[in-house]
Structure 1
């Protein structure tokens, strides 16, 4: 499963649907060079999230007619028109509840087999490894969807548009109800969770039951941890604040650096444990830079982080916060 997450960005780059509309170069260009360039073509990707209050939506988007919404949707943009789209539905809850039950069943089956100190150590090590690898896996996925593809990319297009819209209006994620926010991860995880429960019932090793169920659950929950990292302490449950302050969960301070142009570091959204290993001492020495060079050399596709962001990629001011 972690291999699949780590290779997602490569799959995006190798897809025939991907294209780069950046100026081609052998390495990450400097900001001065970009400003001096006579012309640069715009990025294809754009995503717009709605204001987080209905009354603000009326004030901020009075000119967003039904025709404009339809036109935006036809270009693959994500347009949230009302607060209703931030609420959880029974379908969202069913996906989240069902997948969680399957994962919990796998974990419980594995823990029921812990009958010695050796088995307990094995289970504990498996859980710790799952926590770290979930951080690594989500970081690779985040890097991939931030830098490659657009809303029309097969399979991943919706996630790509959503992540890029998130950079423009990051507060929207905090306005989504829990199941609304995470169901898009729990839904595709459900078949995998069912397979894992079946393997647990068939007598899979303790370490596998613990590792696989914990890893899959944390990957699914990463979107909510991401949401919490955008919220103030006063808006969070004390238990979440405690986990953030202890370093067990990504915090507002740790994730905030990712939302500064050119968005080329701090991609992890579970705990942040893997960030020093992946980011290195500077962007040019990071794992991401090496991967970007590899992708460019083999497929000729540049990441968005090599260029200064366009206006529709810059963070907007949250409605209601201006003086």
Structure 2
């Protein structure tokens, strides 16, 4: 029976399967970028060991978002390269190397670069990057701008931005923070760049 199915059909099924794995990898990279971004923005302190420099960088970035575009390629991306290498090592140890995990690791490694591009003007990005942003294939400036509004406590995903809407719809970050408050007795760090709203009697 399988002999009656054309090679083109098998090729189309294989291409579909690979495409689905690529999309899944992009979704995973976007989600993981959101989790790491959320942790960096909401917890820890500037004087903490190890994570302190990341917290300070977050506060500086929230004060002056476009400052990051003046940093070198390695200054922006070295942390995510290191994290992606850890993920790759874990996937290799578990025997989970496939199109999905490789897509997630490789694209996720450049999460800060996509973030960087979302703070640049089209004239600075050039036509190719701007086209990808306009088509929604990578995070666009308008989508990432949602994170920098108000409390800077939403829309954390910064690779494609695809995960932002569904996560915000189910109040994912708020619910996660509520669980941490209950079980770990920890509250999110107050961002010094966010003005406190006046409380009226």
Q: Within 5 A, what are the aligned runs for 1:150-299? A: 150-190=45-85, 192-193=87-88, 208-280=97-169, 286-299=171-184
Contact 1:186 1:220 in 2 (8 A): yes
| Alignment counterpart, residue 139 of structure 1, candidates 31, 34, 51 | 34
Contact 2:46 2:53 in 1 (8 A): yes
Alpha-carbon deviation of 1:222? 0.8
Which is richer in helix? 2
**Rg: which structure is higher?**
1
Looking at structure 1, the residues matched to 73 and 92 of structure 2 have their Cα atoms a distance apart, in angstroms, of: 24
Looking at structure 2, the residues matched to 191 and 263 of structure 1 have their Cα atoms a distance apart, in angstroms, of: 28
Alpha-carbon deviation of 1:116? 4.3
Give deviations 1:280-303, integer Å, cap 9, x for gaps: 2xxxx6111111111111122211
User: TM-score, normalised on structure 2?
Assistant: 0.81
Looking at structure 2, the residues matched to 231 and 209 of structure 1 have their Cα atoms a distance apart, in angstroms, of: 33
| Structure 1 unmatched ranges of 5 or more | 1-114, 316-323
Give deviations 1:179-226, integer Å, cap 9, x for gaps: 331122213433544676788xxxx68xx4211111011211110010
Q: Within 5 A, what are the aligned runs for 1:75-154? A: 116-154=11-49
| Equivalences, count | 186
Looking at structure 2, the residues matched to 294 and 194 of structure 1 have their Cα atoms a distance apart, in angstroms, of: 30
Query: What SS does the corresponding residue of 1:273 show, helix, strand or coil?
Result: coil
User: TM-score, normalised on structure 1?
Assistant: 0.52
RMSD: 2.5
Query: What SS does the corresponding residue of 2:65 show, helix, strand or coil?
Result: coil
Looking at structure 2, the residues matched to 232 and 269 of structure 1 have their Cα atoms a distance apart, in angstroms, of: 17
Contact 1:196 1:209 in 2 (8 A): no
Contact 1:168 1:314 in 2 (8 A): no
- Measured at CA, do residues 191 and 141 of structure 1 come closer, stay the same or move farther in structure 2, by a change above 3 Å? closer
| Structure 2 unmatched ranges of 5 or more | 1-9, 196-201
Contact 2:43 2:188 in 1 (8 A): yes
